[in-house]
A and B are shown apart, each in its own frame.
Chain A
Amino acid sequence: MSDITAATTAEAAGDRLDKNWMIDKGLQALMFICGFSAIIFVLGIFIFVFKEGAEFVAHKMDFAEFFFSPKWRPTSLSNPTYGILALIAGTAAITALSMAICLPFSLGAAVFIGEFAKGKTREYLKILIELLAAIPSVVWGFIGLAIMNPFIIKTFDVPIGLNVLNSSLILALMAAPIVTSLAEDALKAVPDAYREAAEALGATRWQMIYKVIIPAAKNGLLSAALLGVGRAFGETMAVLMASGHSINMPTSMFDSVRALTATIAAELGETPVGSDHYQALFAIGIFLFIITFVINLAADLIVRGVRKG
């Protein structure tokens, strides 16, 4: 009797080293590496950007000039200045206008898809919107250059069509799919019991959406909007191509401007590694990094607030 028990135990122990066990453990390790590498890469980028920009920020940068001077003249031989105010203003103008265009449309689309569209219509719309998100940004930039530019010149009778309006329209279209699908998720997360209760009390569809669904989903909608802002803020190529890329404090939506991101993209390849100009571009990178981080963190915290409440 005890012999048999001993044998079975040994067999069971031996089992642990068979092929399935190895595959299981092997795949576990692989998954761990994949998951962990994401953290490593983010940290790596973070450290690299900070390292390249740190010297400039710590020793050479004049904070007042950097943030409050609109004079970005890094290539001046006699007196280079590194003021990014015009670039901030450009990015802010483009982001703000693009969101003003994008948010009403996206939220409207989300409400339509989530609350009104049924069956096939709803499925097709969702696929189409996701398709919109798959268009590469350089294609959007191309549309800005080749289609929107002459269109804006003709329609508004302005000398140049590569301006705040152009890049905002492009960015609005680019951010719309993200905002729409996140907002739709937020609406979908509202329990159906609320809809039923409101309808049973005699609410029309619109009364229900306006008074019950949107307030219940408001944190999710807010976070969708914030991520849209993050998307617009961080976009580079399309903005570079559609904004005119000229350093300018914008006074109207027909002014050409330059964005923070586009500046880095356009100039980094042509600066000597380690020069002041190179480091100043990395300082801009750090600034961008911090802002997008704050936006994403805010969006995340807002959503978490939903789960808790």
Chain B
Amino acid sequence: MSATTHESAKDLAIQAIGFNLWYGTFQALYDVNLDIKGGIITSLIGPSGCGKSTFLRSVNRINERLGYVRTNGSITLFGKNILDEDVELSQLRKHVGMVFQRPNPLPISIRDNILYGYRIHNPNANKSEEEGIMEAALRKVLLWDKVKDKLNKKASVGLSLEEMQKLCIARLLPTNPTLLLMDEPCSALDPKGTAAVEELIWELRGEFSILIVTHNMAQARRASDECIFMLMGKVMEHTKTEDLFVNPAKKETADYIEGRYG
């Protein structure tokens, strides 16, 4: 099914084996088997309700806050099964950052937003250390010059959606995550903002493994290395992006990318 099956589990950013998920009695994911490579951008596409966000939200287990989610099978990140009992959610989420559909800066200052995750995992860090880390994160997302004079202002006012989304990406960086999950990160943005954020995601490629859910096929096509097509809770196809778009192996994939449903 995928081109990456012979790689050892350690090199894989995400390896899902026989992963099923139910919301109450509704089964949202069926026997998902995926080998997602580290260091590249992989996009997840498929029509609404196909389970792509559900899978993404299973990788940092944020799904579980709903309280009525059951799973079986395994999801392994760099060799460690995150569904094991000894996994601490806080530690897992230190290594796996998540960007949401709507930019959701916390209602605290820009500085505190960027350092929120860092302070959780480094409660005794000193001020100057924090300042350096914050500046590096903001520089990385090209936001430093824009916000350096209003670091103490609230992050939820006075920033454009694009800037907020960049901020939401920047606040993941101080904890040195290995994997970034992005749930339609550009769907709330205008075309200009979309281009800027996409460019930023491309910049982060290589340093992080990135899994991105998108509704926008053009975006998947231009901004990802590999592409996974899902339908009705099942993985249909997982291959290099250009192959998937030029030469889809399955009829359903071809129908979807040609816009026959979605």
B120, A201: Cβ atoms closer than 8 Å: yes
A193, B91: Cβ atoms closer than 8 Å: no
Could you tell me the distance in whole angstroms from the C-beta of A130 to the nearest C-beta in chain B? 24
Residues on B with C-beta less than 8 A from A195 are 65
Could you tell me the distance in whole angstroms from the C-beta of B83 to the nearest C-beta in chain A? 17
B191 interface residue, CB < 8 Å from A?
Answer: no
A203 interface residue, CB < 8 Å from B?
Answer: yes
- Of chain B, the residue at the smallest CB distance from A118 is B67
A28 interface residue, CB < 8 Å from B?
Answer: no
B108, A215: Cβ atoms closer than 8 Å: yes
| Given known A118-B67, A193-B100, A211-B116, contact A200–B62 (CB-CB < 8 A) | yes
Residues on B with C-beta less than 8 A from A212 are 106-108
**What count of chain B residues pass the 8 Å CB interface test?**
28
How many residue-residue contacts, CB under 8 A, span A and B?
65
A200, B108: Cβ atoms closer than 8 Å: no
Residues on A with C-beta less than 8 A from B120 are 201-204, 207
Interface set, chain A 180-228, CB cutoff 8 A to B? 191, 193-204, 207, 211-212, 215-216
Whole-angstrom CA separation of A109 from B135 in the bound complex: 40
Could you tell me the distance in whole angstroms from the C-beta of B189 to the nearest C-beta in chain A? 16
**Residue from B90, B98, B104, B107 within 8 A of A203 (CB atoms):** B90
Whole-angstrom CA separation of A203 from B62 in the bound complex: 12
Whole-angstrom CA separation of A309 from B67 in the bound complex: 32
B65, A201: Cβ atoms closer than 8 Å: no
Residues on A with C-beta less than 8 A from B234 are none
Whole-angstrom CA separation of A199 from B67 in the bound complex: 14
Residues on B with C-beta less than 8 A from A199 are 62, 65, 89, 93
| Given known A201-B93, A202-B175, contact A196–B108 (CB-CB < 8 A) | no
Whole-angstrom CA separation of A4 from B147 in the bound complex: 70
Residues on A with C-beta less than 8 A from B65 are 195-196, 199
| Given known A118-B67, A201-B117, contact A196–B100 (CB-CB < 8 A) | yes
Whole-angstrom CA separation of A191 from B103 in the bound complex: 12
B171 interface residue, CB < 8 Å from A?
Answer: yes
Q: Which positions in B face A, CB cutoff 8 Å?
A: 60, 62, 65, 67, 89-94, 97-98, 100, 102, 104-108, 116-117, 120-121, 157, 168, 171-172, 175
Q: Which positions in A face B, CB cutoff 8 Å?
A: 118, 191, 193-204, 207, 211-212, 215-216, 309
Give the top 10 A-B pairs by smallest Cβ distance, nearest first.
A201-B117, A202-B93, A193-B104, A200-B98, A202-B90, A197-B104, A216-B107, A202-B94, A202-B120, A200-B62
List, sorted by A's number, 18 A–B pairs whose CB atoms are closer than 8 Å.
A193-B100, A193-B102, A194-B106, A196-B65, A196-B100, A197-B168, A199-B62, A200-B60, A200-B62, A200-B97, A200-B100, A202-B90, A202-B91, A202-B92, A202-B120, A203-B116, A203-B120, A204-B120
